[in-house]
Structures are given as structure tokens and as C-alpha cells.
Structure 1
Amino acid sequence: MFKTLFRPLIQAHNINKIKKLAVNGDAEAQNKFAKMYHFGLYVEQNYTQAAIWYTKAATQGVIQAQSALGELYEYGQGVKQNDAKAFEWYHKAAARGDAYAQNSIGWMYEKGKGAEQDYKKALQWYSKAAEQGEIDAQYNLGVMYNNGLGIAQNYKMAFRWLKQAAEKGHIQAQAVVAAMLFEGLGVTKDESLALDFYHQSAKSGFAPAQSHLGVIKERNREFSDARVWYRKAAEQGEPSALSHLGLMYEFGESVARNRIIAYGLFEMAVTQGDKTALDIRDTIAKSLTQSQREEAIELAHNPKKLWELLDNTL
């Protein structure tokens, strides 16, 4: 009780102490003060103030401040967005071993942001960060090996790094690892383990994994489960899930056949960029009246109404 009552006073005292040290030029205090503004810790979040204090600390050589300042420039938080500045500060921190900055530099080289695109340099920086256990770098490095970017394609190495990220909970890595296990790419084929990774990713909300899981369930004729996973992914706008769900309503697979709903789902898939959905949508359209097509298009542009209709047409 005593500690709870006086905690705000203690925090206020510590904040004032940190501020005083920061104002007097203490680099570590400047970095702490910047973090408080950056993340809204005990003060109102203020990216501009965060950038000011990170700059002071970064200029004095605080690695974490250099990395954080790079991030603010990358995303234009508290400063004008500037890829060149982001690269400059990330590079300072990365050269001194900061894993987050190393991954960020790798990403900037890969995408050609703030520096000329260079897959080999991207690979080098991803490797440095991945070796330190940086989860995003492990995923990025795995993707580079998987796609043969900056190095000869190597599924075995791709799987090695992707699995490390997947086991730490990286949802995209989990989905890729699952696909590789299903195909036996870089690893012995193991459909049971693949399903485990797909489930982990899907349960964390990754739409592509949810859609793939739906495909697997449908192949196994577990139509109700397939529909559930397609629906989860479709509500996030996943094109393939919208098309698969549309087919279920087109053919009445575990649901009452409804071509208006099917057309609406394919229309949404087309809007989300699935060009393969065009032909099926247009084929369905031939079986609908003008008023039915208009109703389907209205549903496609009013997803909330569409999902409510789906709940009532099982």
C-alpha cells in the first residue's frame, strides 16, 4: 500500500533526475529521456522530443540512440522522413554491433532505400544480425537463401534460418517453414510438422497461413474447418481465401449454395488483386439477373453486411 501510494512521487523524482542529467549533457540520460518520449513512458508520447534527445545521445556515440534515431528517420516520426539519414544512423549503430540496426541496414540495401540496391551487402548485414539472434534478420536471411538473392539459392540454408525465426514465433517464417516441410524443400518432407507450423501461424492471425490451412482442410474433405479458416483469412482481405470461399458458395460445399454471395466474394478477390478470380466471377455473372449482380456488388463493397449474411446462410 505504501509503495503504491508513493510510486508516482518516486517516478516524478526519477524523471526529474534523468532530465537534469540529460540537460547537463549525460549521454545515457539523454538516451533514457528520449526513450520516455518515444514510447510515452511516464510522459506524453512526443516523437519530436524523442528525436531531439536521441540526436544529442547519438551524437555522443550511444549505440541504442543511433539505432533509434535511424528508425525515426526511416518512418518520419518526429523528423522529416529521410532514407539517407536513416541509413546513416543505422549504419553507425550497425557497424558497432547493434543487431536491430544491422537488420535495418540489410533491409535498406535489399530494397534500395537510402543506398543503392545491393543484395550481397543485404545478405552480409542480415547474416550479422541473424547470428546475434535477431528474429526479423533470421527470417530475412532465410528468404534471401530461399529466393537466391545475393547468393546461390539454397533451400537447406533457407530452412535453417527460417526455422529459427519460426520457433521464436515469427508468423511469416512459420508459414514459409510449413510450406517447405510440405514440399520437402531443404528438409525431409513432414506433413504433420508442416501442419503444426501452419496452425501456429494461422492462430496468430497470419492470413496467408489461414488460407493455406483452409486448402489443406478442404483437400482432406474437412469442409467445415476449411470454411472457418477461409473465412478468417477472407475477413482480412486475403485474395486466395476470398476465391476459395467463393467456390464453396458457388458449389454449395458445406454451405447452402448461393451464387450472389459467391459473386460478391469473387468481386472482392478481384478488387484485392486476384486476376484469376475474374473468369470465375464473370462466369457466375451469366447466371445472375441484373438486380442480383447489383446486390452482389453491393455486398462486395459492404463487407460487414456480407459477413453478416454469411453467418445466416450456413
Structure 2
Amino acid sequence: MTATATAPATTPPAGPAAAPVTAQDSLRELGRLRSSVLPVVRRRRGPSEPSAWSVNLLRVGVVVAVLAGWELGVRAGWIDAFFWSQPSRIWDTAVVAFTQGGILADVRFTFTSTVLGFVIGVTGGVVLGLSFWWSRRYALVAEPLVIAFEAMPKLALAPIVVLVLGLGMGSKVAMATALVIVIQTLNTYAAVRSVDKDLTTLLYSLGASRWQVFRKVVVPSTLPWIASSLRVGIGLALTGAIVGEYIGSNAGLGRMIHYAGSTYDIALIWVGVFTLAILSMLLYVVVSGLERRLLKGLAHTR
């Protein structure tokens, strides 16, 4: 009987102890990685945003090129000046209209009726759209009527509105309000339908009242939608005011354009059109700034 001897387990000789990693080594490694990765990131960066001055310069260049081509086309006989007039004649007519005529009063009339119609239309549309949240039956009954009124051509209603409210500013404000209030109502109602139902159910289960859910959830959820539709509303308000002035008015840019068309004063028509374009751009810029401020304020409050 032989005994087998088991050799004792041998451990590998201990090598040199690993040096501890210091903070300086970590920073050095981070710097090496940064120097190797950043050039790749910079090479893959997308196209940069064009500067504001270059965009504005291009816009002015396009306008100047169109006007210069228009003027040269009339002088060369390629464009009929009787139907299209020419920029130099339009400029002379504009100088006379702004220095001796009453175009400033017309601009003030159109501006006032547009702003009033915009404010009333937005306020009324928001109130109507939010009211649809309170009653599903009321919303189902009222929504087709609102859509039918939106589909109705407002130009057909303009003579009735002018006859009822007269040639003053009231009929122009009514037309501007009619165009804005429907769009604002539908946008607000769409925002109401997108409110998180799980959140409202949770608040109800915690004992919140209907008014508390409306104030804490529904209104804050719809505010971004309401702010985003302001730019559309100001354009519709201006359109409604001009339509009312064109049908019948004692002042306004629409009335001036209609009068110039009836007397075949093409240069004065272009003065009214260009003045209306400048007014619409100014209103659009102001409302866009207001929209950005509202959305920025809502983002900060969340």
C-alpha cells in the first residue's frame, strides 16, 4: 500500500505592486481623450446658422432687384405701365399721399380695427374652446356649428355686417373678430382634447374638484397651443378688417384701395398694397415676439 503525496499548491510569485491611479493621471487621460475626440466632433458638426445681417441683406437685395427689374421693364416697354404702373411713379404717389393726403388716418383706422378684432377674437375663442371641456354633450352639439360657421365665406356676410353696424369701425372689428374667433376656438378645443386624461383621473382620485382640475391641469396644458396660434390670428384679423373696409367704410386702407381701383389710379393701389404689407409685417413681428415671450415664460414655470 503506497501513499500518494500531494504537492503543495504553489502561488505565482508576486509581481511589482500596481501603482495607484492619481487624480493627475485621470486628468491627463481625460485631456488625451478630449484632444482625440473633439476634432472628429468638429468635423461632423452640421451647417451653422446663417447670421441675421446676412439674411436681412439678402432680403433687401431681393426686394431691390425686383423693384429695379420692374422699373427697367417699364422703361424698356416690356411691362405695360397702365396696368402695372412703375416704382418711380408709385414712390411719387406715396410721397404725396403721406405728406398731403389722409393715408396716415387710414393706417390708424385699419390698425385699430385689426387689433381690437384680434383681441376680442382671441379672448372669445379661448373662452369658447375651454368651455367645451366642461360638458361633452355641449361640445358635441356646438362643434359642428362652429365648423359650419368657419366654412362659410365671410365675404358673403360682410354686406350684412356693414348694413347692420354701419360704415364705422364697429363693422370692421366685427369682421376681424369673426375670422379670428372660430380658428382660436378650434385650436383651443384641440388643446383641451389633448390634455392628459390619466393626470386628471389621478387628481379626481385624490379628491380634487372639477374647478381645481380645470385650473391646475387644463389651462396650463392649453396655454402653449393658444400662444402658438397668435400669429395666425393676427393675419386673419387684418384680413377681416380689410374685407369690411372694402365692402363699405368711411376710412381705412381697404377703402383707399377700393377708391383707387374705381378711379384707375394704379399707383395709388400699389401704395395701399405696400403700406398694408408693411403694416402686416409689423403686426406679425410684434405678435411673434409676444408668442416667444409667452412660450419662454411657460417653459420657465414648468
Relative to the length of structure 2, the TM-score reads 0.22
Q: Which structure has more RCO (C-alpha within 8 Å, separation ≥ 6)?
A: 2
